[in-house]
Structure formats: structure tokens, C-alpha cells
Amino acid sequence: MALSSVVSLCRQHPTDVKLVFVPQARTGRALEDAVAQAADGWVGLTCTAPTAWAKALVWPLLQAKGYRLLSAGTAALLVIEAVEAIAEAHQKLLLVGDNERLTVQAGAELARVFNALRL
């Protein structure tokens, strides 16, 4: 969605709720800042990633049922174990880093990707 389209939407509906999906939070913040500079006034514009919006809707319901998030370290270790188990089951060698094992950083990045894809 082009900036001019969002500005036009804000001018047509200055006080209505407006939700715009963006690829990442900083893109949304930049779009909100640009609209604030270009539009004469608006209220109710939210630019967010679809996963963040979905989590905001669902997470309170899951918390009420007793669910909790894994820590980043625990999630990374679980991903490392899963990927290494898959590689072993298929007799594939993982070549990541000098010691040919997944690092915690790589596991954390894979966990982040899996979490984003899950929603």
C-alpha cells in the first residue's frame, strides 16, 4: 500500500480504526511517521505485522488457559535438537560453524523463523 493511499484513507476516515499490515514493526513505524507528517490529522492508524496482530489477539486467550512462552534460550535448544535429529535420521551432516554443530545463535534464528511461520 503506497503512502498516498494510506494518507488518503486517513483523510477520508480521520477518527475510524485503520489497520495496515506491514512486513515488520520498523516498517510500520516509518509508515506511521510518514503519514503523521503528510496528513493533516488522524487517529486510529495501526501499522503492524500480521504475526504481531495475531499474537495480540490470541495470546491473552492462551494465557487464560495456562499457556506460557518458552524462553528464547529454551526455544533455541529445542530447535537445535529437532534439526540435529532430522539430520541424523536422514544421515545428513550439518555444516554450521567450525565444529559442525548448530550454534545457539543459529538455533535462536531458526526458532524465530518457525514462530513467525507458525502464525
| Residue 31 resides in a domain | yes
Q: Are residues 11 and 45 in the same domain?
A: yes
25, 49 contact by CB (below 8 A):
yes
Judge if pTM exceeds 0.85. Answer: no
3-class secondary-structure state, position 107:
helix
Residue 41: which region, alpha, beta or left (left: phi > 0; alpha: psi -120 to 50)?
Answer: left
| Residue 88 resides in a domain | yes
Count structural domains, the chain.
2
Q: Are residues 81 and 43 in the same domain?
A: no
Amino acid at 85: A
Q: Are residues 45 and 80 in the same domain?
A: no
| Residue 44 resides in a domain | yes
Domain of 25, in residue numbers: 3-49
Q: Are residues 45 and 9 in the same domain?
A: yes
| Residue 65 resides in a domain | no
38, 3 contact by CB (below 8 A):
yes
Domain C-terminal end among 34, 49, 64: 49
Among the residues of 3-45, which ranges form H helices?
A: 3-12, 25-38
Other CB atoms within a 10 A radius of the CB of residue 6 amount to 21
Per-residue pLDDT tens digits of the chain, which is 119 residues long: 688 888 888 888 888 888 899 888 889 899 999 988 886 767 889 999 887 888 888 888 888 998 887 777 777 777 777 777 776 666 555 555 555 555 666 666 667 766 665 54
| Residue 12 resides in a domain | yes
